[in-house]
Amino acid sequence: MSEKIWRNVDAYIGETLVQPDEALEQALHDSRAAGLPPIAVSAAQGKQLYLTALSIGARRILEVGTLGGYSSIWMARALPADGQLISLEIDPKHAEVARGNIERAGLGSKVDVRVGPAIDLLPKLEGPFDLSFIDADKESNAEYFAHALRLSRKGSVIIVDNVVREGKVIDPKGNAQVQGVRRMFDLIASEPRVSATAIQTVGDKGYDGYLLAVVTG
């Protein structure tokens, strides 16, 4: 089975069920035009993040890795009027593009994009967050997950993107990104306060997967 059919099915899902609107399409367009890498979540994944936030009634959301704000826009749309999303981004140019996209989507008052290395910004945050989405440099996934857990309450949800990477996750001698993912898996495996799974995915973004964790204690 080829990647072409995965993409075609994602297109079909996008046309029928997801229907990304003008603000989301414009966010991708402006991100591309500004030279940002094309690594935002797919439309189907973006809507899954939105539906997750909606289903748990999220009022405060944490994101690590903003890029052009595409996933931020999806998630922030699930927030109530007084809800808040804080998104951390190391690259000032990415943050600037994201702020423009978020403003145009009418979400400027709900989304706070903070610039700096996430590892420096996370200790300054106060919880609890109802939902955390980790999608930055994979090398530091274990540290980001530990912070997300610290900033959670019982019942909070933590989602981590890109944990399968064409199957590379099962290579104990994998590169620094793989090591970052595997250290996070080990941390979660030995963490009694968290219940987690990982789901493999195919689609627009090739063969990858995401981790879903619920804070149970």
Interface with ligand SAH (CB under 6 A), residue from 14, 20, 65, 100: 65
Q: Which is nearer to ligand SAH, 94 or 165 (CB)?
A: 94
48 half-sphere exposure, CB direction, 13 A CA radius: 17
**SS3 state of residue 159:** strand
Q: Does 90 bind ligand SAH (CB under 6 A)?
A: yes
Question: Looking only at residues 127 through 146 of this chain, which bind ligand SAH when binding is defined by CB under 6 A?
Answer: 135-137
Angle at 70 between CA 9 and CA 134, to 5 degrees: 95
Binding site for Mg ion (CB under 5 A): 135, 161-162
Angle at 17 between CA 13 and CA 19, to 5 degrees: 95
Task: With contacts defined by CB under 6 A, name the span among 6-14, 39-47, 151-159, 194-202 that binds ligand SAH.
Answer: 39-47
Contact 97, 30 (CB under 8 A): yes
| Least distance from ligand SAH to the Cβ atom of residue 126, Å | 19
Q: Which is nearer to ligand SAH, 73 or 196 (CB)?
A: 73
Contact 10, 204 (CB under 8 A): yes
Q: Does 39 bind ligand SAH (CB under 6 A)?
A: yes
**SS3 state of residue 206:** strand
Binding site for ligand DHB (CB under 6 A): 39, 135, 161-162
